[in-house]
Chain A
Amino acid sequence: MVGEDFAALLGAAQRGSEQAFSVLWRDVNPALLRYLRVVASEYAEDVAAETWVQVVRGLPRFTGDETAWRAWLFTTARRRLLDQVRLRKRHPSEPLDEISPMDIPRTADAEQVAMDNMATESAMALLSKLPEQQAEVVFLRVVAGLDTEAVAELLGRSPGAVRVAAHRGLKKLATLLSEAGVTL
């Protein structure tokens, strides 16, 4: 989250500051990608790119605080995701040959990066085991940083239903963690 500097950053970005736009992008894009990977992992990259195209086009006309900014961005991402899902259903495509792990480019600190991201990737894998609606609500509440009302508006549900889904998801997650033998 950007915090108190969000209004200044947004204004600068709307006036054409690349630096301000870069800060906003770096703040939101990781959470956006994690959300999309949990909801629809195979479309995550494409949907994220389409989301930013639409966000940039609407950036000069956007007004609101950081919560509204994130809600607008994740709402856009979700709609693009639904469009992508419908498109793939109408026009199914065969994936290209799988890339061998040996052919994946490696960096010098690839192992360290993998170790650092292991906790995040493990948590995302664990969350992916939740029911879709519960996982989406938990992600939007936790990763996107949206409150109950914003998530309810985004998903088109009541705030109470969102709250119940979030609680059920956390309980399920605790059960899964207990079953996996993760104790503190």
Chain B
Amino acid sequence: MRFGVPDGDMPDSLPPPGWGPAPFDERDLDAVLDGNTADVTVALRPVAEALAALRAGPAAAELYGEADAMAEFRSLGLGQAGRPATTMPLEALPAGAPARPGRRPARHRVRPARRHPLRRAVLRPAVLSAAAAAAVIVVAVLVPGNFAGPLRVIAHMASPSAGASFPKSSTGRSTAPGVETTSAGLETTSPPSPAQSTASPQSVLSNSCRAYYSYYQHPEGLSSWLTELSLWDQLTKLVGTDKRTKVYQDCAPYVKDLFPGGVPAAAQNQLPGRPGQESKSNGDVGQQSGAPANSRNGSGSSTVSNGQASSGQASSGQGDPAGGGSNP
């Protein structure tokens, strides 16, 4: 009995609680912190289990913020790797950085000076004037060769009726009633031109006559017809009159071999280009030969040789329009 307690109730052979070595040391604690729970002491096993529960997998509530984080990830320009690019990413260069090789530095565009309206207004008429002058020159070169003929054709076509109404002399004077006319100058021959004076007048006349009357042997197209008109003009100048009978009389010696079967009437009285059209006059070669032209057919064809085309009016202001249309 000791301190009022029997010896069998509290034997002193057992150590008091808390005595003896500690149940774990610092190495065991470090092992638990590092997650090594294999050799952990029994005293630390509840602690190790609690720490393992802290390392457990995520709960659903712990993953709710992923959408917000992903939105921030995308808003900062990231998160576009798996998507098709809508814009081309450009490299951001700091200010003053040298340009990348292979690219020209940017330049300011220089706008062309706007042309003043007044200057344009001045230049436009000048350009138009120059173009018009060039066109006139071209026409002046081309018209005498190509278009003089047709104009004369028109004059010749109008001449028979006009000549029937208002016989004109070679000088252009009208023979309309009330107008005194004279035929003194009808037989005159115009002086030879300087070009003709250089060659023999007979040879020139012969060539012109043969060239002109050969048309009646071989009537051709329009181009030949125009040529004949030119020859006719030349011939009238050589003969000095535009009367066809007179012209033929002068050309007869040179063209008789062209018509061995007889000279057609058209060759004497008809206009070139209108073969087949009979003249109002009676064109007998034998009768016309050597006869005055105006005495035979009583009509003088108005030609363009004097620059006037008869159209029923008296030329040079000498004719009387009111009295036209009747043959005296």
Contact = CB atoms under 8 A, between A and B. Distances in A.
B199 interface: no
Nearest to A182: B46
Interface in A116-153: 116-117, 119-120, 122-124, 126-127, 138-139, 141-143
Given A56-B76, A170-B29, A184 B58 contact: no
Given A18-B81, A52-B72, A171-B29, A177 B59 contact: no
Interface stretch (A2-10, A20-28, A64-72, A91-99): A20-28
Interface in A10-44: 12-13, 15-19, 21-22, 25-26, 29-30, 33-34
Interface SS, A side: helix
B59 A116 contact: yes
Interface string A157-169: 0000001001100
Given A116-B59, A184-B46, A184-B49, A56 B33 contact: no
Contacts of A170: 29, 32-33, 44, 47
Contacts of B74: 18
Interface string B60-82: 10110110111011101111111
Nearest to B33: A141
A22 B82 CA distance: 13
B61 to A, nearest CB: 8
B279 to A, nearest CB: 106
B154 interface: no
Query: How big is chain B's contact interface, by range?
Result: 35 or more
A100 interface: no
Given A56-B76, A143-B55, A184 B63 contact: no
Nearest to A181: B46
Interface of B: 24, 26, 29-30, 32-33, 35, 42-47, 49-51, 53-60, 62-63, 65-66, 68-70, 72-74, 76-82
The 4 closest A-B CB pairs, nearest first, are A30-B58, A16-B81, A123-B53, A119-B53
27 contacts: A13-B78, A16-B77, A16-B78, A18-B70, A18-B79, A18-B82, A21-B78, A22-B70, A25-B69, A26-B58, A29-B69, A56-B78, A59-B78, A107-B60, A113-B60, A116-B59, A124-B54, A143-B55, A170-B32, A170-B47, A174-B24, A174-B47, A177-B46, A177-B47, A182-B46, A183-B46, A184-B45
Interface of A: 12-13, 15-19, 21-22, 25-26, 29-30, 33-34, 45, 48-49, 52-53, 56-57, 59-60, 107, 113, 116-117, 119-120, 122-124, 126-127, 138-139, 141-143, 163, 166-167, 170-171, 173-174, 177-178, 182-184
